[in-house]
Every structure is written in structure tokens, then in C-alpha cells.
Copies of this chain bind each other. A is one copy, B any other.
């Protein structure tokens, strides 16, 4: 019998009603990881707490010295650049909040079977590298260029298609000067860790993670729209399997809250005691600056505006918000909702598509406030 990739690589599907998380989803959840929400307290996410999503394996590339980035296709002057060549360009550092396009997927009903994020697939880092527009200027893009295609070193099979990870950006996005797309070689002032693209990755401020190609080895300018798997099969907003669907692009607004009080180990339920509780979190949007964050402590019956920290010099990074709450004994449901300057806001009912992409449903945090005599035993 012939052994084929589709023996192990099956089409996308939705979970049945009541179907628990499967072994395949768990295998993704144990190797990829989210931001523990208490780490929303940091302006810049410490190494190892930033979310990570790897489609295939993390390439083993301990030696950066030999790395070469090629820039070719519809250009007059193809380039072959080593790491030292790239470091000889002007370095730019941008503080950018990245979020996985599948964040929130595991809360959807029905649940698209894929990486099962709850709400934690986010992180903020200081990325340092070369503006892509400078590299494309040196390569001298020819007339008629449409898309710029980025190829990573990660290789695998997905939905029956063997591939290197590839994504494209329209030429006008790849070359715009605000926000500037970076070919980055440093994260938080240190060389990229393996799981974040060592030695080289793309950073596209404001876009979901699928655009941030890691282990970047080739940039090809094309005179036709890119039709690779990750552009036209995956990362589309579809209600039905065979629709073309809209592409996933920029990050929808979202606010997350540092879960207050302390957790139960197993249920992760939050526990507080009566009295003042300072609520805080972060809010971000890849479409426009955050305008307001509202908080509810009564499951949406009433909303109050939170205090937003001063806007900083980092328009593509999340912004901190704070809200003072007085907890009273009983059960409470807390939420925060972000709205950006273009009026994009978070829905209270799930936005659903077959891929579970770009879902920014408002987070709900159950909190149990103990009676004052709550146990301190142990």
C-alpha cells in the first residue's frame, strides 16, 4: 500500500458538542504556551513568558554565523546577507504587542480543533532589527511588484500539504515607514531565542502572529498575489469550509485583566477577601490606539471606565489600565472591554469562524470573595 501524507494529516474540523480537548490539541498545548496572565503586570514580557506558537518544529540553528538571508524575485539587485551584513544597517527598536490569531479559540462553541488557546496567546517585547524597507530599497524592487513573500526554515505538513512556513505582505505594507516592518535579530536586547526565530524573524507591528515569520531565510518579491497554504488555505475568516474567506490581518482590540486575589491550583478559580482590590491589566489593538477600557464587576450589568496610563512612545505596544474595586462576600464575574480610536470594540457574544481566528470576545473572570473569616489554614 502507498504511504501518503494524508494518512497522518487530516482536514480541519469542528469539535462535537461536549467533545473534550483531544490528545492532538493537548500535544500542541504542552509545547506551545501562553502568557501567564499575572505577567500582564510587566510593560515588557520577560523571556520565557511571551506566548509561543510554532507550527512545526523549532529549527536547530545553534550557529548564527553561517546564516544567510536571500532577497530575490522581482528585484534588480538580488541580495545575500549574513548576520554581520544585517547588523551593519541602521538598527531600529520597536516595542510591539504580538497576539496569536487563534487566541480565544478553545472558548468557542463549536470549537475549531487546533491550538487550544483560552485568552493568553499574547506578549510584548522590544524587537531590534533592520527596517525591511531599507533592504528592499537596496534590492531595487522592479515595477509590477505586488506581494513580498517571506520563507522560514521551519518545515512540516499541514492539512495534507508539505511546506516550509511561508507568508506574504502586500508591497505597500512591506515598505511603509509607519509602522515600519522589521527584520529583527534581537528581542529585549538579546539575540533571538530559538523559539522566537533565532537568528532572524519578521516583525509586523499591529498584525497577528501568523505574519511574524520566524527563522527567516528568504524574501521574494512577486508580481502576483501569493497563494501559498498559510495565505489562502489557513488564516482566512470563513463560515463554510469552501469559502475563499477574508484574510486575517491586523489585531482586533482586546483588554485582559490580571486575575485578582489568589488561585485554586486545579480550577484556577480566583479567591479574594472583602475590601479594596486594585484591578489592572493591559489593552491593545493593531488597528488604532486604545481609546477606552471599561470594567464590569457584575457580569456586564454595569460598566465603568478604567484609568488608562499615559500613552507612551510605543504606539504598537499594549497600554496599562487600572480600576479600584471593593469586593464583598459572594461570587462575582469581572470583565474588561477595550475600544480603540476607530471605534472597534470587543463583542460580548462570540464572533465565530471555522478557524477560530481574530476572536476578541470579552474575557470573564469568576471571583469568589470569602467571608472575612475565610480559612487561612495550612
Contacts and interface: CB of A to CB of B under 8 A. Distances in A.
A158 B265 contact: yes
A224 interface: no
A26 interface: yes
Q: Is the interface of A mostly helix, strand, loop or mixed?
A: loop
Interface in A132-162: 155-159, 161-162
A171 to B, nearest CB: 23
A300 interface: no
Interface string A297-341: 000000000000000000000000000000001110000000000
A88 interface: no
A118 B46 contact: no
Nearest to A370: B3
Interface in A14-43: 19-34, 36-39, 41-42
Interface stretch (A54-62, A70-78, A284-292): A54-62
A22 to B, nearest CB: 6
Interface residues of A, number: 87
A67 interface: no
Contact of A9 (B4, B12, B116, B264): B264
A268 to B, nearest CB: 5
A118 B36 contact: no
4 tightest Cβ-Cβ pairs between the two chains A and B:
A20-B20, A33-B33, A48-B48, A8-B269
10 contacts: A9-B266, A23-B106, A24-B266, A28-B266, A48-B52, A55-B265, A56-B265, A156-B264, A157-B271, A163-B378
Interface of A: 2-5, 7-10, 12, 19-34, 36-39, 41-42, 46-50, 52, 54-58, 60, 62, 106, 113-114, 116-118, 120, 155-159, 161-163, 193-196, 228-229, 259, 262-269, 271, 329-331, 368-371, 374-378
